[in-house]
Structure 1
Amino acid sequence: MNYQTNNPRELAVKTLLRTRGGSYSNLQINAVIESTSMSEVDRGLFTTIVYGVIQHRLTLEYQLAPFLKSPDKTDDWVKELLYTAMYQLFYLDRVPKRAIFDESIKLAKKMGHDGTRRFVTGILHQMDRQGVQDPATISDPTLRLSIKYSLPKWLVSLIKAQLGEQKAIRIFQSLNQAPKQSVRFNRAKITKSALIKQLTEAGFKVEESRVAGEGLIINDGQILHSPFFQKGLLTIQDESAMLPVESMPIHEGEMILDACSAPGGKTTQIAAKLRVGKVIALDIHQNKLKTVLRNAQRLGVADLVETQALDARKVDDVFSDQTFDHILVDAPCSGFGLMRRKPEIRYGKTLADVNHLAQIQLQILEAVAPKVKTGGTMTYSTCTIVQQENQAVIKRFIEKHPDFQIEPTKTDRNLTTTEDGMLTIYPDDFGSDGFFVCSLVKKL
């Protein structure tokens, strides 16, 4: 796509419009960066503004509302332009106010006309004179938290009810912090110590993950376009996302099913642990399986991976009972553990969606359960933090399938599980994604 500009603020406005239309922010940001020739500084400003506006959208909408006499008649792109200016004014320390005003007013004229320029100029100066509403003055406590942390009111209520107000607020505070640059070293090609040495020599600042044994945190430098990534010595994966496979008792030569595999981070992690054997990677979308195979080829484990386009609820059509030593169900979920990395997730879903997903998750577990061998394991994981999709799904499954029992989830770092052995990582615990892992054993 030709964006016809390298202006980071203009590109931010256009990108925000697309994400409002349902596009994923990270994919849009990557597409813009790859299709333009912005400097490194401008790429950073562009990325910061896009993520920042999405993260703080409800707060910014609340603060802009008193200045719009006819909000329904104000073009969406003009609102997005104003949000980008407000985000820079209220959340970025290093950008001078005059530069923010000048750039925003120029953009208003370029993207609109002289009337738009006057409109934007008037609002910015009025806002500068009067100040904006402080969410702390909102009397309704749930609405106050919703506007302050820019989370839907229903989600604030749900997390407060399940985890208590103090824990909920710690989670909310953590969600608008920048995500870490986390990678998994590829044991199929290199040892962890050798990779750390090579990364350090190349000028990257590296530390070991406190969450996952195979995880490394890159504190300085962009790893995605580096030779380390291209040669498959590592892959980008959140620390928490490594835990489901880390907890699986995988041995060489085994047959393993990854029931919901795309984009392939966990599939390739299984394959790297296997060395010999096979991982069957299912996904309902054929095009997503191409990504799984590309990742497997880059990481040098493609000969261990077999993909099949199949809804995991229909495994009976293809596989016999007791086929697999282990099964991973990294289930489709609401994604509320990923809100730091994909901030738009918080706005598009409802409680009805959560309950519907819980039904699908249970259906997948029930469909694949007969396919695991007696004595084998089934690992259930999600990247969400709400109990309807986690503990409640497991409870319902165990009630209907007494031939399975929960085994304490074991991780390399001995992370603490609950009394029933299940593991939940919340976004505030380690600054990683929120994740849930439960290990189930099919009784002998």
Structure 2
Amino acid sequence: MSSFTLRETALDILTKIGDQGGFSHVLIDQAMHHKGLSDRDGALLTEIVYGTLQRRDLIEFYTAPFITKQKKLHAWVKWLLYMSVYQMKFLDKVPDHAIIHEAVNIAKDKGHKGVASLVNGVLRNIQRKGVPSLETIEDPVERLAIETSHPRWMIQRWIGMYGFEVTERMAHANIHQKPAAVRIQPLKIDREEAMRMLQEDGFEVTASQLSPQGIVIDSGNILKHPLFSEGKLTIQDQSSMLVAELMDLGPGLDVLDACSAPGGKTTHMAELMHDKGHITAYDLHSNKAKMVEEKAVHLNLTTITASQADSRHLQGKHSPETFDRILIDAPCSGLGVLRSKPDIKYHKSEKDIEALSVIQGELLKEIAPLLKPGGKLVYSTCTVDRAENENVIGAFLEHHQDFEMDQAFFHYLPEMLKNSSGQSDVGLQIFPYQFDSDGFFLTRLQKR
């Protein structure tokens, strides 16, 4: 693919995400699949799209002085400027003059001579004069919000929960991509063999410290490796791998996965059960439930049955005290996965968090009676907001005296997590800066 076409593709994706509510990871995957991009082109496309999104507000701060206030830019022109400034300021392999030349050609192709002239003028001015300094922003909260391109309300909220230092580290982590991670299918291959095969094929890999099944891919396109196509590896974030491992699983158990798509945790549970027993999996959307079954087939796992249901109404489908283990990987704001889905931070609001915390509480209340006495229920989210995590669990325990926090949960943690600052009396919060993984909350409850 020519560099011109690649950057036009990046611009098209950014415009769809920024102004039409598209999802970054979905649109990038579609573009890479339909256009048959090489590994190198795919990496650059991903870098430009994610990098521009991750730093959108900072780039807006950089470009604002160079755009006449009265000018109402078309969305695509704004994103063309943003992605060009991102490349000029944060990528060093392409010289500024080449970035500007390409941006002007794209502007001519998509617009007219006047637009091309505006793009040329703004970018050359930035090249000549440099960008404004963040030191001109006196308010430290505002400065951090702009520097790391997070909404001010989000930064303010996190400071109220965790203090400025943790918030600052979290916000800075969110503007850097994390390495990919995969989980071996242990019924087909062991980790040492998988790592050796990947290294022989030129991949740079390290063993995950969070999961004995995890491998961190420091370089290489794992989607194109035979181990992936053969169902011996599946993509999963390291924090996410902890969920199944903390469920205290074994062969022959009856397990409920209440919110199962896309199936990473569901299939991980089946592996830990040696594919013996039964996992009943549900998702609100039938197409997503189908994805879970397809993932199980790909990994040659037979113990999973997935179907569509609103898990707030499962008591109509199952008798009380049916399951040995229950997983509620609850729908959440996703504020722990901003490194891989940066568009989330621009589309969420505090009202969304409040609404989700109500749904999370309803799920716990309705699903809990399905657990056998002595059974264990794991609650997890990929967010860092206490309203969706500690507050939900605290409220549930207060009103359900037959449940308690399972203190043995903390003994199951990997060594590096046992004294984590994210531990509380109701669970564990993992922050995105701690282990180069997603932000995640996990806890395990036991029925008395």
> Which range moves more in the overlay, 198-207 or 324-333?
198-207
CA 1:4–1:191 in 2, change beyond 3 Å: closer, same or farther?
Answer: closer
Corresponding residue of 1:56: 55
Distance in 1 (alpha carbons) for counterparts of 2:70 and 2:246: 51
Counterpart in 1 of 2:434? 429
Question: How do 1:370-409 residues align onto structure 2 when only pairs under 5 Å count?
Answer: 370-408=369-407, 409=409
Please state how far the C-alpha of 1:412 moved relative to its aligned partner.
5.3
**3-state SS in 2 of match to 1:381:** strand
Among the aligned pairs, what percent are the same residue? 39
Change (3 A) 1:83 1:250: same
Q: Is contact 1:381-1:436 (8 Å) kept?
A: yes
**Which residue matches 1:284?**
284
Equivalent residues of 1:321, 1:371 under 8 A apart: yes
Cα deviation 1:315-338 (Å, max 9, x = unaligned)? 111010000000000000000000
| Residue matched to 1:87 | 86
Q: Is the CA contact (8 Å cut-off) linking 2:256 and 2:281 kept in structure 1?
A: yes
Q: Quick check: 1:19 aligned with 2:24? A: no
Cα pair distance change 1:324/1:79, threshold 3 Å:
same
Looking at structure 2, the residues matched to 36 and 217 of structure 1 have their Cα atoms a distance apart, in angstroms, of: 27
Whether the 8 Å CA contact 2:394–2:426 is kept in 1: the answer is no
Aligned to 2:141: 142
Residues 4-26 of structure 1, C-alpha deviation per residue, up to 9 Å, x if partnerless? 99711111110101112111111
The offset of 1:220, in angstroms, is: 2.2
What are the residue-to-residue correspondences of 1:175-214 with 2, within 5 Å?
175-214=174-213
Once residues 362 and 188 of structure 1 are traced to their aligned partners in structure 2, the CA distance between those partners, rounded to angstroms, is 36
Post-superposition offset of 1:100: 0.8
* 2:29 is aligned with 1:8: no
Unmatched runs of 5 consecutive residues or more in structure 1: none
Take 1:182 and 1:419, find their aligned partners in 2: how far apart are those partners? 27
AA aligned to 2:414 is R
Residues 5 and 36 of structure 1 are in contact (CA less than 8 Å); yes or no, is this contact kept in structure 2? Answer: no
Structure 1 435/56 Cα, relative in aligned 2: closer, same or farther at 3 Å?
same
Identify the residue that residue 227 of structure 1 maps to in structure 2. 226
Deviations 1:182-204 (A, max 9, x none): 00111232222222232233332
Q: Which residue number corresponds to residue 369 of structure 1?
A: 368
1:440 and 2:421 are equivalent in the alignment: no
Secondary structure of the 2:222 match is: coil
Residues 1:130 and 2:135 aligned together: no
1:38 Cα offset (Å) = 4.0
Amino acid at match of 1:30: D
Residue identity matched to 1:381: S
Q: Is the 8 A contact 1:185 1:192 kept in 2?
A: yes
Alignment of 1:242-281 (within 5 A): 242-274=241-273, 275-281=275-281
CA deviation vs aligned residue, 1:46-94 (integer Å, no higher than 9, x gap): 2111001100011111222222224662111001100111001111122
Q: Measure how far apart 1:39 and its partner are.
A: 4.0
**Partner SS, residue 224 of structure 1:** helix
Q: Please state whether the residue corresponding to 1:338 is helix, strand or coil.
A: coil
1:115-162 residue CA offsets vs partner (Å, 9 max, x unmatched): 111111111122223322222311222211111110000000011111
| Deviation of 1:205 (Å) | 2.2
Contact 1:338/1:434 (8 A) holds in 2: yes
Residue 200 to residue 412, structure 1, CA distance change in 2 (3 Å):
farther
Q: What TM-score, normalized by structure 2, do the two folds share?
A: 0.95
Question: Secondary structure of the equivalent of 1:280?
Answer: strand
* RMSD after superposition: 1.7
Counterpart residue number, 1:315? 314
- 1:298 corresponds to: 298
Amino acid at match of 1:113: H
**TM-score normalised to structure 1 length:** 0.96
Q: Secondary structure at the match of 1:336?
A: coil
Q: Does 1:360 align with 2:359?
A: yes
Matches of 1:392 and 1:56, distance apart in 2: 31
What is the total number of aligned residue pairs between the two structures? 440
1:150 partner letter: S
| Letter matched to residue 121 of structure 1 | N
